[in-house]
Each structure stands twice: as structure tokens, then as C-alpha cells.
Structure 1
Amino acid sequence: MRINRSQVLAAALDLLDEAGLDQLSMRRLAVALGVQNGATYWHFRSKQALLEAMADELIAGVAEVEDLPWDERVTALASRLRLALLSRRDGARVFSSAFFPLPNALAYGDALIGALLAAGLSPRAAAWSADTVTYHVVAHTLEEQLAGEDPSRLQSAVDPVRHPHLHTALAHVPAPHPEEHFRHGLRLVVAGIRAEVGDPAQEH
């Protein structure tokens, strides 16, 4: 049976949904495709190369946003990235598992930095702010995808005497509203960028 690169990539993403990142292996992928072990290496030289391709496939189309004001573009790109990572089991872990300068990743980075340059940031500030936006998205999505963990473990560990401030906010620490929680953090990041734009000390 002959397989092409697209078939291997699609099967890998399906296997990710089925088994999770920890159980994804080239051997198991070959079994899922019904080919001999090693056949997948014709298309991906290593598991790491496969993971990079999977990560890039996850974010296909994320960069395609309307020509909106810079802050709306940043918000749209961040929101689209989050949804793309949530679309597959362990999507955020796959995305953060490697540096992958592949077409969709490059398009996303270009679009995000372009929006920040349009805001008036220097190239350095735009690049670093783009990283900050992406870090927020990935970290939040990682937490969302781990949300199956039992929240009672945290609740039972927090002592109202030794941890009074944490105890006061305990109902909100394991965020019960992922979308609302995500947007709260994103608003803070965008507000910080807006402040940076208005700071005359911002390096150009």
C-alpha cells in the first residue's frame, strides 16, 4: 500500500485525538495506516519532524484575518490560534514541542508582527510583544486541555490560615469559564501593548 505525506499527516492527527501525544509513536502510526514499520520515514525523517508538520497543520488558516485596527487584529489572531490548538487533543503541547519555521507558522508570525508594527511599535518591541501574545495563548490552552484534572486536589490543599489570599480567590483559580478567563488575560496583554505604544521611551 502506497501512502503520501498528506495521508501520514492526517492519520497522525487522528491518532493524536485517539491516543494523545504521549502514546503517539511512529510504530503506532504505521499500524494505523496499515503499512510496514518504517514506511512513514519516507515522508518524515523522525518523530520530531512529524510533530513539527502536525503543529503547522494545526494552525493552517489562522493568519487569515481581516484588515482590522491593530488591536482587533491581535485579538483575532490570538483567538484563532487558541481555537486551532483546542481543535485537537494535546494541540497546545504539540504546538509548543518544537520550533518550526514552516509555512503556516511563518504566516501567523508575519501577520501578528505586522499588526503590532501597525500599532507603532519598533521591530524589536513588535517581535517581543508577538511572543508575549503567543505565550498567553499557548499557556492558557495547555491549562484548558489539562482541565480534566481533579480540582478538589487544589481545594483540599489550600489552608485558609496559611494561604488566606489564595483561599479568598480559590473559586476562580481553577478557572470555571475558559473563554472568559482567556479573554481577560488577552485584554491585559493588549492593554500593555497599548501602553507601550504610548510610551515615548519605547525603543525604535
Structure 2
Amino acid sequence: MRYRREDVVARALQVLDDYGLADLTMRRLGTELGVRPSALYHHFANKQSLLAAVADEILRRGRHEQTGAWDVRVTGICTDLRDSLLAYRDGAEVVATVWSFGLGASQPHDDLVQALTDGGLGDLAPTAARTLLHFVYGHAVDEQTHLQAAAAGAIEDDVRDTDDFVAGLGLITAGISMAKAVREASPDR
């Protein structure tokens, strides 16, 4: 049977969710699809390009259009991103790694830069967007690692305060608002 690129990505996402990133290999994926691993290279030059496509699919499935003031949009983008990352086993690690390597997963950054630029942040928008992404990725990786360790019995599962993400995001957004206000008040603008 011949598979389309979208079919391979969908199955790779299922393997990721079922077995985790360490077991998402071209060999396992080929077995899952009933093809030789070499057949996958028709669609993807290497595992990194497959992971980039998986990361983009994770983001695509969780993306919602954000409207409103810049801070409302930023909060919505970051919340959607976090939810997307946590929806799949090792999703945070996959997306954060792909973005860090510059292989894909750039949509959240682009959306944040646009919202921040629309809000008047100017040339600080890319730095603010990266800061927000570092927070969201770090928080999601921490949450997933904790949940997986608890599920494996490696740690006692103490329930974490779910408001921690919202509070942290609020702190960063408040800092961005302050930086924006200082810039607007500066005569050297």
C-alpha cells in the first residue's frame, strides 16, 4: 500500500503518543505502516524532517484564531500552544526541539510576533515572543516530565497547581506591558 505524506505524519503522531519520542524510529514507523523503513524516505529525507512535520501537525491541530487586544491574543496563543504540547506524549519535547533547531514549528512565534507588533511593541516583539515561547515550552516540558515520572512510579504524584501557568504567563505579559509603556513614554522613541 502506498501512503501519502499526511498518512505517515498521522501514524508517526500516533506512535509518538503510544510509545514516546524514544521509540519513534523510522523502523518502528515502517513496521506500523507495513512498509520498509526505506519507503519512508520517499516522504522525509531523515528523522529530523519527519519530527518537524509531526511538530507542525501537533501545532496545526491545536491552533485557534486569536482576536482582540494584543495581550488577549498573546494569552490565547500561549494557552493554545501549551494545550497542544500537552495533548501528545512528549509533544512538548518534540515541538520545542524542532523550533529550537529551526526545522519548523514556527507558527506560534510568528503569531506572537504579529500580536506584539500590532500591540505597538516594535522591534522588541521578536524578543518578547521568544521569551514567551521559552516559558511555554519550559513549563510544558516540566509538566510532561512530572506526569510521566509519576505514571511510571518513579516519583510520588503530588498534584501541581494548574494556576501556575496562568500566573507565570500573566507576569510575563505584565512585564511586556511595562516595557511597552516605558518605550511609549520615552522621548527618544
TM-score by length of 1: 0.80
Contact 2:49-2:103 at 8 Å conserved across structures: no
For 1:177, the aligned partner's letter is D
Q: Is the 8 A contact 1:63 1:107 kept in 2?
A: no
Shift of 1:175: 6.6
Note if 1:18 corresponds to 2:18.
Answer: yes
User: How many residue pairs end up in the alignment?
Assistant: 181
| CA shift in 2, pair 1:183/1:93, >3 Å | same
1:55 aligns with 2:55: yes
**Equivalent residue, structure 2, for 1:160:** none
Moved over 3 A (4+): 61-64, 99-102, 152-155, 200-204
Structure 2 unaligned regions, length at least 5: none
Residue 141 (structure 1) aligns with: 140
Q: Deviation per CA, 1:127-184, whole angstroms, max 9, x where unpaired?
A: 000001111111000011011335x9999xxxxxxxxxxxxxxxxxx77123x11101
The correspondence for 1:193, drawn from 162, 176, 183, is: 176
TM-score (norm 2): 0.86
Whose Rg is larger? Answer: 1
User: 2:166 is matched with which residue: 158, 165, 183?
Assistant: 183
Shift of residue 45, structure 1, vs aligned partner: 0.8
Backbone CA RMSD of aligned residues: 2.4
- Decide which structure has greater helix share: 2
Shift in alpha-carbon separation, 1:90–1:16, aligned structure 2, 3 A = same
> Following TM superposition, by how much is the alpha carbon of 1:109 offset from its aligned partner in structure 2, in angstroms?
2.6
The 8 Å contact of residues 21 and 94 in structure 1, kept in 2 or not, is answered as yes
AA at the equivalent of 2:160: P
- Identify the residue that residue 41 of structure 1 maps to in structure 2: 41
The answer (yes or no) to whether the contact 2:26–2:47 under 8 Å persists in 1 is yes
C-alpha offsets along residues 93-150 of structure 1, whole Å, 9 cap, x if unaligned? Answer: 0012223464xx4443332111111222122x10000001111111000011011335
The superposition leaves residues 35-76 of structure 1 with CA deviations (integer Å, 9 ceiling, x where unpaired) of 122111100110001001111111016554232011000000
Number of the residue aligned with 1:161: none
Identity of aligned residues (%): 37
SS in 2 for 1:49: helix
1:117/1:34 Cα in 2 relative to 1: closer, same or farther (>3 Å)? same
Q: How does 1:1-16 map to 2 (within 5 A)?
A: 1-16=1-16
State the alpha-carbon separation in 1 of the partners of residues 94 and 36 from structure 2.
25
